[in-house]
Structure 1
Amino acid sequence: MIPLDPTPHPIDTLPSRGNASDIALLDQDGSVTFADLERMTGQIAARLAALGLPPGSRITSWLPKTRLACVLPLAVPRAGLVHVPINPMLKRAQVAHIVADSGAGMLVTQPGRRETLEAGDIGGSCTLVLEADLSFEGAVLPPSTADTDTLAAILYTSGSTGRPKGVMVTHANLWLGAISVARYLAIEPSDRVLGVLPLSFDYGQNQLFSTWAAGARYAPLEYLTARDVVKGVARTGATTLAGVPPLWVQLLETAWPEDVARQLKRLTNSGGALTLPMIAGLRDRFPEAQIFPMYGLTEAFRSTYLPPDLVADHPESIGRAIPFAEVLVVRADGSRADAGEAGELVHAGPLVAKGYWQDAERTAQRFRPAPAWARESGMAVWSGDTVVADAEGLLRFVGRDDEMIKSAGNRISPTEIEDAVLSGGETREAVAIGVADPRLGQAIVVVARGDGTREAELRARLRRELPSFQQPQRYVWRADLPRNANGKLDRSALKAEITA
C-alpha cells in the first residue's frame, strides 16, 4: 500500500511507485511510460514558461481527454502558472465566462472548438493557442520548487445553480488528495484505471493524479454510450472504474460479457448516493469488484468514503473521513452534534481549498474558521449539507439545507423521498422537488424516468412505506432526465422547469 506521506510537495513532482519504464498512460496514440511522462511534462512546462507570462497567470484548456489534456495539469503548475481546465461539454458562452472570470492569459483548444467561438468571447488579453502548437519537443523544465501553498489550479463547478464559480486549489491540496485516494483505494502499480470522468471535474482530475501516485496506468476514454465504456474496459484491461449514479444506471442496463465484468475489481462512486437497488445490481453484475461509495465537496475535494466491507451492512452511509480530512457534525450553535443528531457537515484540514476565485462574499459564506473543539485549526468548509453520525461514527447524508422540502410544518429530505421511490424498481432515476402549495407550503413533486405505466403500483407501495406528509403529490414522467456537464442529474434545471 502506498505510504501515507503527510508532507506535501509541488504537484508536478507527483511520485510513482512504478519503474520509469512502466506505462503511465494508455491512449489512442499508444502508451506513455513514466519516464516519458516526466519528459513531456517538462517540455510543455518549458514552452509555457518561455511565453513570459507573469507567475500565477491562468492557463485555460478546453480539450477532450487528449494526451496534452492529461499532461497540462502537471505542466502548467511546473511553469509557475495556474491551470484552469474547462469541461469539454460546455458551450461557447460558458467557456467565455470562465475565460473572462479567471482572467486567463491563454486558452488552449482545438480547431473545431475554436470555430464555435464568436467575436468577443475571448478578450484581447487572452491568447488562443491550438493544441497542435504545444508539441512535445524541446527543452525540459525541471520540477517545481514552489511553496506548496501556491495556487496550482482553479476548478470551476458545473454551474447548475448559476454561473460556474472557481474553486482555488493549491499544490498541497492536489498532492495530498492524490496520496489520500491512492492509499484508501489501495491502488497498485498493476492496476489499470479507465478514465471516463471529465478532467475538469475534481473527481476526474484526482483519478489521474492518484493513479500516477500509485504507479498505475491511466487510460482516458471519451464515450457516447454505455456500450463504449464496456468496450473500453475490455480493450484496456481496466481493473478500476469511477462513476456517478446516472452512469451506473446506464451501465447496469447494458449487456456485459462475463469475463469483462469480472476483470473490474474496484468501483468508486461520488456525485450522488448509490441506491439500494443500484448497489445490489453492481454486486451482481461485477462480482469481483469492491464498491467504494464516497462523498465529496469541490471546496475540499473529498470528505468521506465507506470501506467496501461495510457497504452490505451500511448501504445508506457515506462513511468516515478520508486520510488528511477531519469531518465534523456541527449544530446550528457551533457545538458538536451527538450521535443520531442531525447537523451540518464541516470539513477541516489540509484538503480545504483557498476559497472562490475573486468572490470574497461567497468565500466568506462557505469558508469559515473550524469550530474551537476541532482537531484541525484554521479554515474549514461549512458545506451546508445535513448529515447524521451513528454510534460507530459512520455518516448518513440527509440533504442540503437549500434543497430541503418544507411541507405541512415538516422538513423533508428529497434524498429520502428519492430513495423510497427508487427502492421498488418502478423507475431507475428520480428527483424529488418541493413546489409552492397554498395549503402545505410546499408539495412534493417527483420527476422520474419512464412512461408512467407503473405509477399506480408506485403510489400504492409508497402509501405502505411512507407517512402521509412524505407522499409525493404528483409525478412527472420523462423518457430521460437532464444531466449537467459532469454527468450528474441536473436538479436545478428540473426545479426551475417544474416550478416555473
Structure 2
Amino acid sequence: MQVLDPDPRPLDHLTLRGEATAPALTTREGPLDYAALERAVGVLAASLQARGLAPGSRVASWLPKTRMTALLPLACARAGFIHVPINPVLKRAQVAHILADSGASLLITGAARIATLEPGDCPADCAPLNEEEGAALLAEADALGPSAADPDDLAALLYTSGSTGRPKGVMLSHANLWLGAVSVAHYLGLAPQDRVLGVLPLSFDYGQNQLLSTWAAGAEVIPLDYLSARDVIRAVERHDVTTLAGVPPLWVQLIEAVWPPAAALSLRRLTNSGGRLPASVIRRMREVFPAAEIFPMYGLTEAFRSTFLDPALVDTHPDSIGTAIPFAEIIVARPDGTETAPGEAGELVHAGPLVAKGYWNDPARTAERFKPAPPSSRYDGIAVWSGDTVRRDEQGLLYFVSREDAMIKTSGNRVSPTEVEEAAVASGFVAEAVALGVADDRLGEAIALVVRPNGEKREAELRHYLKHELPNFMQPGPIVWRAELPKNPNGKLDREKLRQELMA
C-alpha cells in the first residue's frame, strides 16, 4: 500500500502510482499495465484537446464500462476539462437535464443512446460523439504528459440521483478526488497485488473512487456491468478478485446466491456504503465469505466519504458507522453549532479537504448545505452540514439515527424508518424492507412497510415478531408484499418511487 500522502496532486498523476509493468485496468477490450494506462490517458487527453474545447469545458459521458469510460476521469483532468459522468441507466429527460445544467460541450455516448435524444436535449454547442468514434481517439499518436493543474481546480461534476428532486451537480476538485482516493486506499489497506471488481456505477461517487483508490494503491481494477448476482460471481472467479464494494440491495442478492468455494474464499475485503447493513446480513456475509474483512462505511456525495467501521469492531458494534476516515473531521453538532455530549443526538457535520465546492450553478442550495464549520472545528472555512442525525458514544464511535426528512412522525413520536426496517429483516421472514410514513387522520402518519419476502409470505409471523421486538408506536399499519423492490440508478432501494406508488 502507498504511504498516506496528505498533499494533493493533479488527478491524472494517479497513473504514476503503480509499477510500469503491473496490471492496472482490465475491461472488455483487454488489460492495461500502468505504463499503458499512462500512455492511454495521455492519448485520450490530447485527442480531446484537439477538438478545440475551451479550458474548463464540461465533457459528459453516457456509457457502459468500457476502457474509454474508465480513462475519461483522468484524461479530462489532464486536458483541463471537467468530466460529467452520466449513469447509463438514466433516461432521456434526466440526461437532458444534466447536459443543460452542466452546459456540456461534448457528449460521448453510443449511437443507440444518441437516437433517443430529441432536438434541444443537448445544449446548442454540445456535439454528441458516437462511442465508436470516441474509441478511435485512443488510437491517435500524440499524447499529453502529466498536467500541472492546480489541485483546487474543478475536475468533475457528479450528479446526485435526483430521487427527491432534479439532480444536483456536486463540484469536485482534483484535491477532493485525489485525497479521497488516497484515504480509501489507506484505510482499506489496498496493495499492488489486489484486484478490485468495480460493480458500482462510475457516475456514483464510490463507483468512481473504486477506479481512483485502486490506482492510488498501484493495484488492478476490473470494471463490470452486470445483470445478476451470477455475473458478479463469475467475474470474481475469473479474475481471482480480492476486493468488492456494494450497496445493501446488492449484498442481499449476493448472499442469497450460490458461490463456488474458491471464489468466495478469494475475497479478502468487502465494503458497503449507501445504507446500513442489517446484523442478519452481516452474519450471512461472514458465512459466505469467511476469509473477508467487512468495512461498513457512511458517506455523502458532497464530501465523498465521512466514516468507516474498523472490521475488528463489526461483530461487537454492528450498528455503528465508525469513525472519521483519513482527511475527514466529523463533528456532531447542535443547531447552534456546539458539539453534543456522548449519547446526545445531533447533526453530522463534515469538515476538511474532502468537502466539495458546492452545487454547480446553484448558489441557493449550496448555501443551505455548505456553511461555515462549527467553532470547534480545526479547519477554517466551509463544512457540509449533512442533514443526517447521528450520535457519538463514550468510545467515540458514531451511530446513524436518521435523516430529518425521513423521520416518521406518528402519534407524537418520531420514528426512524431504519429501526423498523432492520427489525423486519432480522425476523428472517423478510429479505428487504422499506418503512415509509403515510398520511393518517388519527396518527398524523401511519407506518407503511413494503417488504420482499424471504421465501413464502408469512405476514402473521412477521407481525408477531415485530410486536415482540418493537414498541406499539413503531408497529406498521399496512404491510405491502412485493416480489421485487425498485432500485434507483445507484442500486439503492428507491424510497421515493415506493412513496409515490403508495400515494397513487
Is residue 408–residue 469 contact of structure 1 (8 Å, CA) maintained in 2? yes
TM-score by length of 1: 0.98
Whole-Å separation in 2 of the counterparts to 1:201 and 1:309: 28
* Match among 463, 467, 485 for residue 467 of structure 2: 463
Is residue 15–residue 37 contact of structure 2 (8 Å, CA) maintained in 1? no
Aligned residue number for residue 430 of structure 2? 427
CA shift, 1:260, in A, is 0.8
Whole-Å separation in 1 of the counterparts to 2:292 and 2:349: 31
Whole-Å separation in 1 of the counterparts to 2:363 and 2:61: 25
Whole-Å separation in 2 of the counterparts to 1:15 and 1:133: 24
Q: Is the partner of 1:115 in helix, strand or coil?
A: helix
Whole-Å separation in 2 of the counterparts to 1:16 and 1:10: 11
CA shift, 1:144, in A, is 1.2
Aligned residue number for residue 199 of structure 1? 202
- Residues 67-93 of structure 1: per-residue CA shift (max 9 Å, x gap): 000000000011111000000111111
Whole-Å separation in 2 of the counterparts to 1:308 and 1:233: 21
Whole-Å separation in 2 of the counterparts to 1:123 and 1:31: 36
Aligned residue number for residue 63 of structure 1? 63
CA shift, 1:497, in A, is 1.8
Runs of 4+ in 1 over 4 A off after TM superposition: none
- Residues 316-336 of structure 1: per-residue CA shift (max 9 Å, x gap): 110000000001100122210
Q: Is the partner of 1:300 in helix, strand or coil?
A: coil
CA shift, 1:16, in A, is 5.2
Aligned residue number for residue 120 of structure 1? 120
Whole-Å separation in 2 of the counterparts to 1:322 and 1:121: 40
Pairwise CA RMSD of aligned residues? 1.1
Whole-Å separation in 1 of the counterparts to 2:352 and 2:434: 33
Q: Is the partner of 1:429 in helix, strand or coil?
A: strand
* Match among 412, 418, 430 for residue 421 of structure 2: 418
- 1:153-164 matched pairs, under 5 angstroms: 153-164=156-167
Q: Identity of paired residues, percent?
A: 62
Q: Does 1:25 align with 2:20?
A: no
Structure 1's 286 and 299: CA in aligned 2 closer, same or farther, altered over 3 A? Answer: same
Aligned residue number for residue 331 of structure 2? 328
Moved more, 127-136 or 268-277: 127-136
Q: Does 1:480 align with 2:490?
A: no
Is residue 351–residue 383 contact of structure 2 (8 Å, CA) maintained in 1? yes
* Match among 478, 492, 496 for residue 496 of structure 2: 492
Is residue 167–residue 354 contact of structure 1 (8 Å, CA) maintained in 2? yes
* Match among 377, 384, 388 for residue 387 of structure 2: 384
Is residue 436–residue 499 contact of structure 2 (8 Å, CA) maintained in 1? yes
Is residue 29–residue 66 contact of structure 2 (8 Å, CA) maintained in 1? no
CA shift, 1:119, in A, is 2.4
Aligned residue number for residue 150 of structure 1? 153
- Residues 34-57 of structure 1: per-residue CA shift (max 9 Å, x gap): 001111101111111122222111
Whole-Å separation in 2 of the counterparts to 1:4 and 1:369: 27
CA shift, 1:499, in A, is 2.8
Aligned residue number for residue 449 of structure 1? 452
Aligned length: 500
Whole-Å separation in 1 of the counterparts to 2:402 and 2:384: 16
CA shift, 1:17, in A, is 4.7
* Match among 390, 395, 399 for residue 396 of structure 1: 399
AA at the equivalent of 1:262: L
Task: Provide structure 1 residue ranges, at least 5 long, that are not aligned to the other structure.
Answer: none
- Residues 378-403 of structure 1: per-residue CA shift (max 9 Å, x gap): 10000000001111111111110000
Whole-Å separation in 1 of the counterparts to 2:61 and 2:371: 31
AA at the equivalent of 1:363: T
Q: Is the partner of 2:406 in helix, strand or coil?
A: coil
- 1:136-215 matched pairs, under 5 angstroms: 136=138, 137-215=140-218
CA shift, 1:449, in A, is 0.8
Whole-Å separation in 2 of the counterparts to 1:131 and 1:12: 22
Q: Is the partner of 1:139 in helix, strand or coil?
A: coil
- Residues 94-125 of structure 1: per-residue CA shift (max 9 Å, x gap): 11111111000000011121122222222321
Whole-Å separation in 1 of the counterparts to 2:425 and 2:257: 19
Aligned residue number for residue 255 of structure 1? 258
Is residue 103–residue 123 contact of structure 2 (8 Å, CA) maintained in 1? no
Moved more, 241-250 or 330-339: 330-339
TM-score by length of 2: 0.98
Whole-Å separation in 2 of the counterparts to 1:36 and 1:344: 46
CA shift, 1:452, in A, is 6.9
CA shift, 1:127, in A, is 0.8
Whole-Å separation in 1 of the counterparts to 2:15 and 2:488: 33
Is residue 452–residue 477 contact of structure 1 (8 Å, CA) maintained in 2? no
AA at the equivalent of 1:491: R
Aligned residue number for residue 81 of structure 2? 81
Aligned residue number for residue 245 of structure 2? 242
CA shift, 1:15, in A, is 5.4
Whole-Å separation in 2 of the counterparts to 1:123 and 1:375: 43
Whole-Å separation in 1 of the counterparts to 2:438 and 2:408: 8
AA at the equivalent of 1:391: E
Whole-Å separation in 2 of the counterparts to 1:360 and 1:495: 29
Moved more, 49-58 or 101-110: 49-58
Q: Is the partner of 1:100 in helix, strand or coil?
A: helix
AA at the equivalent of 1:467: P
Is residue 296–residue 304 contact of structure 1 (8 Å, CA) maintained in 2? yes
* Match among 439, 443, 456 for residue 442 of structure 2: 439
- Residues 408-465 of structure 1: per-residue CA shift (max 9 Å, x gap): 1111101111111111111010000011111111111100013872111111111111
- Residues 215-264 of structure 1: per-residue CA shift (max 9 Å, x gap): 00001111111100000101111100000000011111111011110000
Whole-Å separation in 2 of the counterparts to 1:202 and 1:338: 32
AA at the equivalent of 2:148: T
AA at the equivalent of 2:116: T
Is residue 17–residue 189 contact of structure 1 (8 Å, CA) maintained in 2? no
Structure 1's 414 and 436: CA in aligned 2 closer, same or farther, altered over 3 A? Answer: same
Q: Is the partner of 1:188 in helix, strand or coil?
A: coil
Q: Does 1:282 align with 2:289?
A: no
